[in-house]
């Protein structure tokens, strides 16, 4: 697959110069100067020995990011205290910062990957390094020239957002048995990729024929192997994932008792403006891929706290009770050996309720498909069921919500488990009894 290596937009930093009385043991250079960084990337310095910074061109541009390699030379002997980019949507307001921290070399290249950008948007940027000025007795910034790039479109026109359309078999990570049918804009390759916020693996995103919907797959490394964590389809208008698809298997996804290691943060593979960042009164941020589903290591668990893995969910009587019990039973019944459990968790919007201006789901569902495989790797059997609940308090057990996968497909418009052989898929999706 063609891979575009994109980026990592994380928190926005505010650059603060060191106090005037701060000393530095290296005393890199001496000379006159005019102030340092200003927090908006507008400061400058003119030491006697002026370092040079060259802002690089943007490459691997996608709908949500770009890769920029810049360089510097002539830094003092202590090297660069900080390196990175200032950027923004106006050349006069480069108020966002991506910092890479120190490098002891007096010259070199550095690469910044920007993520969670907005599609079809022009961004301006300039590279910088921060060095120590002995004359001014503080750290000062040296800047490169301002450049610009424009992100690509999120997707084409049309598309119903409800399954059908494009065959995804053969595309990296989208050929899994857990993946619903997706109408992709590009059927040959992912639209972009970049560094996960946690770990040393990549995320991969895919634009769809609906410009308001985008798919992203997250991966992590464990025991020298790379695993797909989960794949979700995010809707711009809902600020939420419509579904998330993933695999449960006790050998491949072991429980190493990591606990809840993450806190909610922006998904680097999806535009930040598409993501919900808070909950409402009485509602929690209900996980799609539960934290206790990913306990192999901290990277796997932290990725379940991306904003694209949650939606507004009634806490009392739902998320904290029967839904939590269902989540735990999925863990308990995760298979071993040649059986595998494939799961899709999603939401419906069958009313116009909003919380804090964000659409609130009317229903949550969980579709389960347990498949068996022969020694040759061929699928030999499949059985399935689904659970569907209104997003409100419930009493009793989760068994009250059992239904068929077919029934949820009719309500949602999605074609789930589209890569499972049709004869096995049809029978399993019509079942409405527990698979354990």
- Residue spans of the chain under pLDDT 50: 1-40, 42-47, 156-170
pLDDT digits 0-9 by tens, 304-323:
999 999 999 999 999 999 99
Quick one: tokens of 245?
């698809």
- Closest by CA position to 65, among listed 131, 4, 23, 2: 4
Angle at 99 between CA 93 and CA 104, to 5 degrees: 135
Cα gap 76→72, rounded to integer Å = 11
What local confidence, expressed as pLDDT, does residue 223 receive?
A: 93
Phi-psi region of 413 (alpha: psi -120 to 50; beta: other; left: phi over 0): left
Name every residue whose Cβ is closer than 8 Å to that of residue 250 and which is 6 or more positions away in sequence.
Answer: 334, 335, 336
CB 100 within 8 A of CB 84: yes
Alpha helices in 208-351 (DSSP H): 298-302, 322-332
* Whole-structure pTM value: 0.76
- Closest by CA position to 73, among listed 50, 51, 99, 94: 51
Mean pLDDT of the chain: 85
Quick one: tokens of 251?
């050998």
Tell the residue number behind the tokens 């920029």, with chain if given: 68
Alpha helices in 308-402 (DSSP H): 322-332
The end-to-end CA distance of the chain, in Å, is 38
Could you tell me the sign of the dihedral formed by the alpha carbons of 370, 376, 377, 380, in that order? Answer: negative
Beta-carbon count within 10 A of 328 CB: 12
Q: Judging by DSSP bridges, how do beta strands 192-195 and 147-150 pair with one another?
A: unpaired
What local confidence, expressed as pLDDT, does residue 35 receive?
A: 31
For the chain, where do the domains classified as CATH 2.60.40.10 start and end? Answer: 1-152
Could you tell me the sign of the dihedral formed by the alpha carbons of 14, 357, 270, 178, in that order? Answer: positive
Quick one: tokens of 84?
């990175």
**Fold held by 192-429:** Extracellular Endonuclease; Chain A (3.40.570)
Tell the residue number behind the tokens 């992912």, with chain if given: 190
pLDDT digits 0-9 by tens, 86-131:
999 999 999 999 988 778 889 999 999 898 898 889 999 999 999 9
Name every residue whose Cβ is closer than 8 Å to that of residue 255 and which is 6 or more positions away in sequence.
Answer: 292, 295, 331
What local confidence, expressed as pLDDT, does residue 77 receive?
A: 86
Cα dihedral: 317, 323, 328, 331 (round 10): -170
CB 277 within 8 A of CB 355: no
Indicate the helix (H) or strand (E) that contains 410: helix 405-412
CB 329 within 8 A of CB 341: no
What are φ and ψ of residue 222, in 5° steps? -150, 130
- Class of domain 1-152 (CATH, top level): mainly beta
For the chain, where do the domains classified as CATH 3.40.570.10 start and end? Answer: 192-429
């Amino acid at each position: 697959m063609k891979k575009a290596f994109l980026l990592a937009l994380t928190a926005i930093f505010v650059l603060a110069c060191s106090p005037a009385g701060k000393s530095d043991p290296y005393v890199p250079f001496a000379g006159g100067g005019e102030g340092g960084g200003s927090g908006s990337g507008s400061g400058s310095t003119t030491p006697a020995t002026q370092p040079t910074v060259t802002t690089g061109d943007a490459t691997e541009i996608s709908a949500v990011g770009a890769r920029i390699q810049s360089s510097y030379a002539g830094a003092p002997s202590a090297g660069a205290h900080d390196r990175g980019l200032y950027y923004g949507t106006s050349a006069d307001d480069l108020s966002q910062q991506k910092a890479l921290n120190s490098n002891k070399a007096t010259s070199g290249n550095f690469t910044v990957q920007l993520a969670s950008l907005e599609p079809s948007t022009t961004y301006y940027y300039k590279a910088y390094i921060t060095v120590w000025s002995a004359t001014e007795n503080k750290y000062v910034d040296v800047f490169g020239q301002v450049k610009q790039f424009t992100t690509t479109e999120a997707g084409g026109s049309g598309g119903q957002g409800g399954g059908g359309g494009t065959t995804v078999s053969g595309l990296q990570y989208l050929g899994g048995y857990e993946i619903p049918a997706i109408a992709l804009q590009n059927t040959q390759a992912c639209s972009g990729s970049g560094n996960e916020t946690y770990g040393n693996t990549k995320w991969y995103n895919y634009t769809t024929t609906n410009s308001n919907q985008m798919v992203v797959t997250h991966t992590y490394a464990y025991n020298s192997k790379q695993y797909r964590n989960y794949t979700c389809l995010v809707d711009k208008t809902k600020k939420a994932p419509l579904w998330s698809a993933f695999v449960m298997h006790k050998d491949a996804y072991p429980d190493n008792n990591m606990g809840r290691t993450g806190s909610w943060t922006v998904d680097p593979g999806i535009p930040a403006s598409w993501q919900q960042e808070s909950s409402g009164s009485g509602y929690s941020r209900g996980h799609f891929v539960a934290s206790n589903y990913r306990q192999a290591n901290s990277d796997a668990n932290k990725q379940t706290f991306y904003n694209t893995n949650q939606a507004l969910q009634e806490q009392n009587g739902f998320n904290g009770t029967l839904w939590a019990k269902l989540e735990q039973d999925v863990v308990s019944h995760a298979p071993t050996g040649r059986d595998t459990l494939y799961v899709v968790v999603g939401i419906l919007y069958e009313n116009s309720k909003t919380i804090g201006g964000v659409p609130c789901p009317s229903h949550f569902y969980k579709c389960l498909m347990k498949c068996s495989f022969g020694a040759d790797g061929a699928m030999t059997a499949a059985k399935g069921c689904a659970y569907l609940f209104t997003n409100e308090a419930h009493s009793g057990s989760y068994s009250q919500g059992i239904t068929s996968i077919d029934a949820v497909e009719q309500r949602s418009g999605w074609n789930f488990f589209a890569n499972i052989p049709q004869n096995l898929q049809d029978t399993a999706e019509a079942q409405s009894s527990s698979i354990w």
